[in-house]
Structure 1
Amino acid sequence: MYHLELSEKNEILQEMIQIRRKIHADPELSTQEYKTSKYIQSILQSMEVHEYILCDTGVVGLLEGGQQGKTIGIRADIDALSIQEKNDVSYISKNPEVMHACGHDGHVAMALGAAMILKKWQKNIKGNIKFFFQPAEEQYGGAERMIQAGVLQNPTVDAAIALHLWPDLSKGTIGCKEGPIMASNDRIKITIKGKSGHGAMPQTGIDALSVASTFYQAVQQFQAREINPLTPAVITFGMLSAGTSYNIIPNEAILQGTIRTTDEAVRDQIEQRLEQMLKSICEMVGATYEWEYARQYPVTNNHSSIVNLAKESAAMVFEKDKILTLDKPYMTAEDFSYFTQEIPGAMFFIGTKDENYAYPLHHEKFNFDEKVLLDGALFLALTAVLFLES
């Protein structure tokens, strides 16, 4: 019932490669994906899949099966990154300082490839497949905006899946995990206010840089001694700016960083304790502070029922020993997490690493063997039909 001839697979793969390369050569940043969304629309229209624009640059496609039933969503993010590409390929980005370095061009191609496959099986499908071509994953949380705009309604979506190209795993593998698979992502910015003074007379000032340094060291102690070592948590300060001259006591210091964890209670603990520590340290020396703490993407939690079902479909595409059960989450973050907060869902990783393609995500030379696109599209399509029949 759900079968493709080798010639059909090859034809779909070639179409996906063409789609991927066109999108790769003309990448667009978060919320600016106008040409990308129009191109996706044109592909869906050519397949006679009902489509419409949502949230300015998002695209929704609806493929209705031959029989009534449930609805599953297949999500693909479509935005690019602010990176100058350094690959030597014919389809290199033509847009300065913009590149698909996180595989979103491949995600679009795999979702559209799944649509091509499902279109061939349409009359036998019991239910609907809704495609979410989502803008602004890298910034601004496009998933949350699409949900607020009603992407999970009309018809009501019962579950959602997503597939991410993953150079941390070997080509030919797929990574699955129940529960947390990616961390939450919070941003912190602290401005410490002291008092300027002559560098030779430090007693006349309040050294904001010294306060920042003391706070930074206190954070390391807090992470090592107050957070359960069995609970994944990362506190990284990547920016510190202070001072105007080598011989002036800085009256201001600014620290900026990111906080990642897979546990909401630990997330609360970190936010509360960091401000408590900063307040105490500032009070000790007479400094003040401004506190900015932004909760960004939540934890991406994979639902066990979807993961177990997807392992069945993975067995139809991948060799048995290539279906990997991941034992630890990644501390990167994903706004697909907003979907799994609303409905059962799961994200999976398709491996891309080999001797020719070993650069990580967000690297100016990230690339992958495009043959993996066919495995990804088949996996998405088969997982969709298995869910609708379950």
Structure 2
Amino acid sequence: MINEIVNRIIPKVIEYRRHFHEFPELSFEEFETSEFIADKLKGLGYDVRTNIGGTGVMATLDTGIPGPVIAFRADMDALPIMEESGLDFDSKRVGVMHACGHDGHMAVLLGTAILLSEIKDELKGVIKLIFQPGEEANGGAKCIINDGALKDPDVEGVYALHMMPDLPTGTIAVKSGYMTATDDEFHIRVYGHDAHSSEPETGVNAINIASQIVMGLNTIISNIMSPFDVGTFSICKINGGEAINVIPDYVEMSGMIRCVEAKNKLMIREKMSSIAESTAQGFGGRAEVEFIQGFPSVNNDARLTVNVIDAAEKSLESKDDIIMIERPHLGSEDFAYFQEEIPGVIFMLGCKRDDIETGSLHSAILNIDEDSLQYGVRIFGNIAMDICGK
């Protein structure tokens, strides 16, 4: 039944995706996007709440029959990227693009809304559809949660997907347990004392100090982390000095820490501060280290992961199209904030086609295969039927 309905409604889902792609909006500026979504949901008879977590939208399907309470989530924001895809429906907003597949996420969830409205009589319990702002801005999920999206009634499990142009259309990839990293941004400010290069003994060269700090920091992963744990430390930017004949008094370095387990990130932070401060002091300068906390790690619930696999077996052509991820990816995703509150699972939805240039996430040429959207709606629909079916 679900697959037949999806086959009928998929042209509308593709139409929605193209609309979202053509009119992207940045994090927490999704005003027209949320208005469009709310209008479609109201037209389907949903109880709709707007301005949740800022520009978020939440639709609730209450069957009136006691049963499970589950939620599906899609993120709405675009990226500050100049599109170069050449699509007929490319971005009409200069410098803003759906380059992370969120247009597909929203289209799939709106398609799921249509599907659920048609099979409501076959369901029990409550299903919430959450359209979240600001995923790219490190805060949207928190805002949605703090605004009560998971309460009244309390959600027992939350499901999401992410478009993945590295995987062929008609496949998914999922992993129970840790699937992504927790990340932190860092900034190290090194202070010395300026002097003319003809009299270096009268100054303290901040570049020399920074060089020694870099050498020390690059020993952290190998010295304090277990070889069985996963983590990266990268200095990606260094700025210092203004003239070729002046000893510089200031250098700033920036980069990222990425770990699967939060305990390792905390150890790295502590060691970074110790090495930077003591090294600078030893050379007659000083250093300050600032950390900007990123997302937690995505940690997929084992039981909900089984739910996704069961639904995918009903939705895809073959069980072989379900790819079990072996190791966590060191990217990050703010869906993890939902998982800090309740069990949740996110899976990767393949959207690559060999005869078109798909591009990659966060690239100016990203062009997801729209045939992939049907599989997202099918899987969400089968999850709902498996859990909330009468």
Q: TM-score range by the shorter chain?
A: over 0.9
Give the stretch that moved more between structures: 70-79 or 228-237: 228-237
Within 5 A, what are the aligned runs for 1:195-214?
195-214=193-212
| SS state at 1:238 partner | strand
| SS state at 1:185 partner | strand
Is contact 1:80–1:100 with CA below 8 Å preserved after alignment?
Answer: yes
Within 5 A, what are the aligned runs for 1:16-31?
16-31=13-28
Aligned to 2:384: 384
Q: Would the alpha carbon gap of residues 170 and 219 (structure 1) be closer, same or farther in structure 2, given more than 3 Å must change?
A: farther
Is 1:57 paired with 2:21? no
Aligned to 2:40: 43
Question: Sequence identity of aligned pairs in percent?
Answer: 33
Aligned to 1:73: 71
| SS state at 1:67 partner | coil
Alpha-carbon offset, residue 293 of structure 1: 0.8
Alpha-carbon offset, residue 56 of structure 1: 2.4
Among residues 152, 175, 198, which one is paired with 2:173 in the alignment? 175
* Cα-to-partner distance string for 1:140-165 (whole Å, 9 max, x where unaligned): 31001111111101111110010000
Aligned to 2:360: 360
Q: CA–CA distance in 2 between the matches of 1:354 and 1:229?
A: 37
Is contact 2:2–2:378 with CA below 8 Å preserved after alignment?
Answer: no
Q: CA–CA distance in 2 between the matches of 1:90 and 1:18?
A: 13
Is 1:320 paired with 2:319? yes
Alpha-carbon offset, residue 222 of structure 1: 1.6
Give the stretch that moved more between structures: 221-230 or 140-149: 221-230
Is 1:11 paired with 2:8? yes
Among residues 98, 101, 104, which one is paired with 2:102 in the alignment? 104
| SS state at 1:360 partner | coil
Alpha-carbon offset, residue 5 of structure 1: 6.4
| SS state at 2:217 partner | helix
RMSD of aligned Cα (Å): 1.4
Q: CA–CA distance in 1 between the matches of 2:211 and 2:169?
A: 44
2:42 partner letter: Q
Is 1:347 paired with 2:346? yes
Aligned length: 387
Q: Would the alpha carbon gap of residues 357 and 125 (structure 1) be closer, same or farther in structure 2, given more than 3 Å must change?
A: farther
| SS state at 1:69 partner | coil
Q: Would the alpha carbon gap of residues 384 and 201 (structure 1) be closer, same or farther in structure 2, given more than 3 Å must change?
A: farther
Within 5 A, what are the aligned runs for 1:299-318?
299-318=297-316
1:141 partner letter: G
* Cα-to-partner distance string for 1:64-117 (whole Å, 9 max, x where unaligned): 225221211100000000100001111100111110000000000001111111
Is contact 1:26–1:94 with CA below 8 Å preserved after alignment?
Answer: yes
Among residues 124, 127, 131, which one is paired with 2:125 in the alignment? 127
| SS state at 2:67 partner | strand
Aligned to 2:337: 338
Alpha-carbon offset, residue 213 of structure 1: 1.7
Q: CA–CA distance in 1 between the matches of 2:280 and 2:145?
A: 41
1:246 partner letter: I
Structure 2 unaligned segments of length 5 or more: list them: none
Aligned to 2:185: 187
Is contact 2:232–2:258 with CA below 8 Å preserved after alignment?
Answer: yes
| SS state at 1:68 partner | coil
Is contact 1:183–1:260 with CA below 8 Å preserved after alignment?
Answer: yes
1:55 partner letter: G
Is contact 1:67–1:124 with CA below 8 Å preserved after alignment?
Answer: no
Is contact 1:66–1:124 with CA below 8 Å preserved after alignment?
Answer: no
Is contact 2:358–2:369 with CA below 8 Å preserved after alignment?
Answer: no
Is contact 1:63–1:129 with CA below 8 Å preserved after alignment?
Answer: yes
| SS state at 2:314 partner | coil
Q: Would the alpha carbon gap of residues 310 and 4 (structure 1) be closer, same or farther in structure 2, given more than 3 Å must change?
A: closer
* Cα-to-partner distance string for 1:306-347 (whole Å, 9 max, x where unaligned): 001211111001111010110011111111001011101101
Q: CA–CA distance in 1 between the matches of 2:95 and 2:141?
A: 24
Alpha-carbon offset, residue 255 of structure 1: 0.8
Alpha-carbon offset, residue 134 of structure 1: 0.3
1:259 partner letter: I
Structure 1 unaligned segments of length 5 or more: list them: none
Is contact 1:110–1:373 with CA below 8 Å preserved after alignment?
Answer: yes
2:335 partner letter: F
Q: Would the alpha carbon gap of residues 101 and 124 (structure 1) be closer, same or farther in structure 2, given more than 3 Å must change?
A: same
Q: TM-score, normalised by structure 2?
A: 0.96
Is contact 2:194–2:249 with CA below 8 Å preserved after alignment?
Answer: yes
Is contact 1:241–1:255 with CA below 8 Å preserved after alignment?
Answer: yes
Within 5 A, what are the aligned runs for 1:158-307?
158-307=156-305
2:124 partner letter: K
Q: CA–CA distance in 1 between the matches of 2:91 and 2:134?
A: 19
Alpha-carbon offset, residue 351 of structure 1: 1.0
